Each structure stands twice: as structure tokens, then as C-alpha cells.
């Protein structure tokens, strides 16, 4: 269960980075 939570956290982090990247590209 802890391992699953860790995976979810990693996925959330990569989704957040991708979203921030898109926002940054739009601002540029």
C-alpha cells in the first residue's frame, strides 16, 4: 500500500511538472 502511494505521488509530481511546463510555454 505504501508502495502504491509512492507511485501515485511520483505520477502527481510528473503531471504537475508537465502542467507547469505548458503554462511556461504559453507565457513565453
Q: Which residues of 1-28 are buried (b: 16+ CB within 10 A; e: fewer)?
A: eeeeeeeeeeeeeeeeeeeeeeeeeeee
Residue 1, SS3? coil
Model pTM score: 0.56
pLDDT tens, 1-28? 567 777 888 999 999 999 999 999 998 8
Amino acid at each position: 500500500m505504501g508502495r502504491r502511494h509512492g507511485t501515485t505521488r511520483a505520477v502527481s509530481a510528473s503531471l504537475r511538472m508537465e502542467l507547469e511546463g505548458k503554462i511556461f510555454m504559453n507565457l513565453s
